[in-house]
Structure 1
Amino acid sequence: MTAIKQAPTLTGVDGTDGALAARADSPSFRDTLTRYYSLTKPGVLYGNVLTAAAGFLLASRGQVDLWLFAALVVGTTLVIASACVLNNVLDRDIDGVMDRTRKRATVTGSIGARPAVAFSVVLGVAGMAMLVAWTNWLVVAVGLGGFIVYVVLYGMLSKRLSIHGTLVGSVSGAAPILAGYVAVSGVVDVGAVLVFLAVFLWQMPEFYSIAIYRHEEYARAGVPVISVVRSIRNTKIQILAYTVAFVASTLLLPVFGYVGIVYTVVMGAVGAYWTWLGVTGLRADDDDRWARQMFRFSLVAVLALCLMVSVGPLLP
């Protein structure tokens, strides 16, 4: 009988089996899945989907079409995820400089630009297909418009070229709540404008707070945010102005009869505290600490808004 020849093994310089070492170095399926998932910016993703759900529930006023709600939420989630993945690809140069983003998969190279773009396309096509099939043309238009604004007008252009990049980005950030509302209403009415305006204005103090406590990182990356181009003092004033505008916009909903007294009391209290916090920033000694407080409470404010917009029509 002919002896069976053993396949040659690859031995490393330290005497280890090269094949085993190669398998150890290659990421597992779970690791790869986690990396791709991280490209969707889960924090940003779910925050935006929450506002879409809130807009939907406000317009529904207790009469929820569960199939339409599911189509809106899943379709919107996929479209936003697609935009976030593509933004990661475009921002590799900036992300590599900033501490909070330098470990992203598109920066480290654990996921290449080409597979990331392919992932984005799959997500985007699937999401838009759901919106086209099961929602209305207004939702599709808002979704497509939000995608273009975020990826092109914000990510590729204004973020890198203008101090007003945050204003442009806030348009796309307010698109989900508008999409949720018009999915039910089928029209852009006063309620649609007010919820869009509230989320648009909310993003300004939220991001400007980040621009203060990450001022040095943005300066290193060459991103012309307000705190870098103008000054910390000017940014504080802008934060306070936009906070007051946000509070005013939220309190217009009861004026037009969309919500009642419970909503008014809760959002009035939230708005009063956030405004007071903004005023304290004008004389704060530790700018970074104050900015982090403003940012953290901005999350409380938007959660309160989404909750109260969702249940407000059902309460006194």
Structure 2
Amino acid sequence: MSELATPVATWRDYLEMCKPRVVALMLLCTVVGMCLATQAMVPLDLMFNTALGVGLVAGSAAVVNHLADATIDARMARTSNRPVATGRIGVREGLVFSAVTGIAGFILLYEAVNPLTAWLNFASWVGYGLIYTLFLKRATPQNIVIGGLFGAAPPLFGWTAVTNSVDPGGLLLVLIIFAWTPPHFWALALDRKEEYASVDIPMLPVTHGDAFTRLHILLYTIILVVVTVLPWLIQMAGFIYLTGALLLGAGFLYWAIVLIRNRNPRAPIET
């Protein structure tokens, strides 16, 4: 009698657990925060060490998310082939990998950047890896709103890496990402409402319906447009930034309105 082969993990599985696309976006926001924090050229070694440290800590938190959501992931078509959900990577291996990457990132930030940036990253790790993943995600339809604060922090990491202080400019960058997060993820949740309902995740479309969610996507998009103008109003950015922000804001508003008017089930993912 032949036995089923045990799934074997590869380096790609470990990379997938770190959610590289999400981390890449976080690193882009981190670098933008660094560049906006100073008018001088940011030293390349500081930029490299900051990006690497933030990436390691963020990847570590993503691994915790994979481990905590393994049973849920296995029941959803979009996530059923994830390394932990399929058994290619076990809980122990995942915990060790998360610990090693997280500690390495924290030490790098603490020693090569500054302690403030290291501790802010640790706070974000706790917020996303523990508070959001283990509690908020399953507890409230406002999970994305509250949890989005932890995911909005990368621009502040870049800011503090350069200034070694938490300033209004850095917090404003966090506010922009924070305002962008709910409409983005609610649009995705509209498209995957049945999957979330099947695993008892109280996403807004599941608990309050499509029309309520579409309206709140529009409301948060309006907030986003207003917030993105603030850097120009406080003279943190110039006319070129304002032009880009207004054009992007107009695009976001257009698609939010399209989403309200278009009842096509595919409209959320198309927008």
Same fold (TM over 0.5): yes
Residue-by-residue CA offset, 1:153-190 (whole Å, 9 max, x unaligned): 10000101111111222111111111111111222222
In 1: Cα distance, 2:193 partner to 2:48 partner: 40
Task: Give the TM-score, by structure 1 length.
Answer: 0.82
In 1: Cα distance, 2:248 partner to 2:270 partner: 14
Aligned residues: percent identity? 31
Q: Residue in 1 aligned with 2:29?
A: 51
Confirm or deny: 8 A CA contact 2:107 2:118 kept in the other structure.
no
Confirm or deny: 8 A CA contact 1:153 1:168 kept in the other structure.
no
Q: Which amino acid is 2:30 matched to?
A: A
Q: Residue in 1 aligned with 2:257?
A: 279
Instruction: Return the match for 1:87 from 26, 42, 65.
Output: 65
In 1: Cα distance, 2:215 partner to 2:259 partner: 9
Confirm or deny: 8 A CA contact 2:229 2:245 kept in the other structure.
yes
> Are 2:51 and 1:66 equivalent residues in the alignment?
no
Q: Residue in 2 aligned with 1:307?
A: none
Distance 1:230 1:26, change over 3 A: closer
Q: Which amino acid is 1:292 matched to?
A: I
Q: Residue in 1 aligned with 2:205?
A: 227
Q: Which amino acid is 1:113 matched to?
A: V
The structural deviation recorded for 1:26 is: 7.3
Q: Residue in 1 aligned with 2:270?
A: 293
In 2: Cα distance, 1:190 partner to 1:45 partner: 24
Residue-by-residue CA offset, 1:256-309 (whole Å, 9 max, x unaligned): 1111111111110110121021112222120x3221133xxxxxxxxxxxxxxx
Distance 1:281 1:138, change over 3 A: same
Confirm or deny: 8 A CA contact 2:132 2:147 kept in the other structure.
yes
1:137-156, aligned counterparts within 5 Å?
Answer: 137-156=115-134
1:200-215, aligned counterparts within 5 Å?
Answer: 200-215=178-193
Q: Which amino acid is 2:166 matched to?
A: V
Moved over 3 A (4+): none
For structure 2, the 5+ residue unaligned runs are none
Q: Residue in 2 aligned with 1:243?
A: 221
Comparing 132-141 with 104-113, which one deviates more in the overlay?
Answer: 132-141
In 2: Cα distance, 1:209 partner to 1:72 partner: 32
> Are 2:244 and 1:257 equivalent residues in the alignment?
no
In 2: Cα distance, 1:97 partner to 1:62 partner: 50
Confirm or deny: 8 A CA contact 2:18 2:59 kept in the other structure.
yes
In 1: Cα distance, 2:200 partner to 2:49 partner: 40
In 2: Cα distance, 1:134 partner to 1:169 partner: 28
SS of 1:63's equivalent?
A: coil
Instruction: Return the match for 1:170 from 123, 148, 158.
Output: 148
Confirm or deny: 8 A CA contact 1:146 1:175 kept in the other structure.
yes
Q: Which amino acid is 1:165 matched to?
A: N
Larger Rg: 1
Give the RMSD, CA atoms, in angstroms. 1.8
